[in-house]
A and B are shown apart, each in its own frame.
Chain A
Amino acid sequence: MDLFLQQVFNGIMFGSTYAIVALGLTLVMGILNIPNFAHGHLYMLGGYLLFFFGSTIGLGYWFGLIVSVAAMGVVGVLMERIVYRPLNDQPHINAFIAAVGSLLFLESFALVVWGSQGLRIPNPYPQMIEIMGITTSIQRLLVIIGAVLLIAGLHLFMKKTILGATIEAVAQNREGAMLTGINVNRVSAMTFAISAGTAAVAASLLSPIFMLSPSMGAILGMKAFVIVILGGMGSIPGAIFGGYLLGLIEALGGGYLSAAYKDVFAFGALILILSIKPTGLFGQKEV
């Protein structure tokens, strides 16, 4: 029983990260109509910026986190402006190629600046606590709580404010949004800022527990795609639910069967779910 609870806890922790990253990916996908392949790499860069501001410059964990999230918001805006906006009226394949280009750029950038060696961010809360028979560090608990707060905040923003509603409006009908007086370019930039900023939050929460490496974005980016497809393209609840589901599948599969195969469980679940429900768990039919 203890093992089970421990694995569920780990699953929820990884799921929290997956949910945030997939949420950011799904938001931008609604706006661009293509997946931003570089999204996982924004996550990676967010982790390195925390290392830079928090450790190298010495702002400490919390100030470093705030500054790196803000900086990633700016990176998101720049990415929209420089990489994707000029391709707005071009065939989708161009944006695909641009996405792959940005991914390679970001990974090489991290490699050149910080090297290929894994870096460690000092864990601000390494103390262990015990709840309901689960032993965990406070930082791990913080990942879960931080994710819940972030997702709830984003939900309120999207549902309760008119600015948040413009994101859904542009995703559902770009021209319709223009005709109601929405500045579609500004909404795209804002969505990219949110997407990159939330990826940085996820990275900042998790990176004191795991090492930073330039390649960590690629794996996470791939998983975020799995989640977005699993949850249903463009569905926000799907991305959140899918994120936690994938975290749990990996943790339980890894804990009980074999940790070496945890990615097999993740992608196996994807194939299984899509063969039963091709639109994904929360996929909406076109109306």
Chain B
Amino acid sequence: MLKLTQVHTDISGMQIIHNVSLEIKQGEFVALLGSNGAGKTTMFRTIAGVLKPNTGSIEFNGTPIHRLPVHRIVEQGLVLCPQGRQLFPHLTVEKNLRLGAYPLRGNKIRIQKNLDRVYELFPILKERSQQQAGTFSGGEQQMLAIARALMSEPQMLLLDEPSVGLAPLIVQQMADVISNINHEMDTTIFLSEQNANMALNITDRGYVLESGACVLSGDCNQLKNDEMVRKAYIGA
């Protein structure tokens, strides 16, 4: 479904992503592990089209997308739920969600259906649907960001560090919800995490990113038992 071939990305002259190639199939749930500064966010922003790769290609469902503007990539069904959430702080929760369904504009029935679905997933958003998004706590904002990303019925969701800054209990809830999205809604998910423990417990397999290069990949049990991963990311 998603295929990166020898992708390099520079930010103001500095090479951040080096020669990354990877492939994710329909329905998979894949982790992207790496410490702070490893290039996870840059890689996701490159896939989503916010940044353009200097060389290499990115294909989604067989079509090259690395030259397309962000909104065209969203229309194809590949949606990034960004780190820092990027909500509309002075708009209500419901407005934020409705804007998430912008690619479906005009299709009232589908938008309403998706709205009901995300409210079911995150009941707190329904309770606070008329509250301004900027008044939310970190965990609630993260839920809203994920819910907004789901509103356009993406085929594939890129989740950039959804657990960052959240209380441990909320992290567990978040992990459950994300698994749910993958299993029940059949959405392919690429999840980036510093919290390798959480990520490896819920995903099928993972890639390890270090200094912008993909240094390791494998299924989760394999990664969990890998000496380097244990030392660097699990702390055991």
Contact = CB atoms under 8 A, between A and B. Distances in A.
Interface of A: 162-163, 165-166, 168-169, 172-173, 175-184, 284, 287
Given A165-B91, A169-B91, A287-B135, A175 B99 contact: no
B117 interface: no
Given A176-B88, A179-B50, A179-B74, 8 more contacts: A169-B91, A175-B86, A176-B85, A177-B88, A177-B99, A180-B148, A182-B71, A287-B132
21 contacts: A163-B105, A165-B95, A166-B102, A168-B91, A169-B88, A172-B90, A173-B88, A176-B85, A176-B87, A177-B88, A179-B50, A179-B70, A179-B79, A179-B81, A180-B102, A180-B151, A180-B152, A181-B74, A182-B99, A287-B132, A287-B134
A172 B89 contact: yes
B95 A183 contact: no
B99 A180 contact: yes
Contacts of A172: 88-91
Contacts of A163: 105
Contacts of A165: 91, 95, 98-99
A136 B180 CA distance: 68
Find the residue from B71, B80, B132 having the highest chain A CB count within 10 A. Answer: B71
B69 interface: yes
Nearest to A168: B91
B146 interface: no
Given A287-B132, A287-B134, A182 B102 contact: yes
B82 interface: yes
A168 B91 CA distance: 8
B202 to A, nearest CB: 23
Given A180-B152, A182-B102, A173 B71 contact: no
Find the residue from A162, A177, A180 having the highest chain B CB count within 10 A. Answer: A180
Given A162-B102, A175-B82, A181 B71 contact: yes
A176 B82 contact: yes
Contacts of B95: 165
B48 interface: yes
Given A173-B87, A173-B89, A180 B100 contact: yes
Given A168-B90, A169-B88, A179 B82 contact: yes
A74 B41 CA distance: 39
B103 interface: yes
Q: List the 3 shortest-distance A-B pairs measured between CB atoms, nearest first.
A: A287-B134, A176-B86, A181-B74
Contact of A183 (B71, B79, B85, B87): B71
B26 to A, nearest CB: 21
Contact of A169 (B70, B85, B99, B149): B99
B120 interface: no
Given A165-B91, A168-B88, A181 B75 contact: yes
Contacts of B80: 179
A284 B132 CA distance: 12
Contacts of B89: 172-173, 287
Contacts of A182: 71, 99, 102
A179 B152 contact: no
Contacts of B148: 180
B88 A181 contact: no
A166 B105 CA distance: 12
Find the residue from B89, B132, B151, B152 having the highest chain A CB count within 10 A. Answer: B89
Contacts of A179: 48, 50, 70, 74, 79-82, 86, 149
A179 B78 CA distance: 10
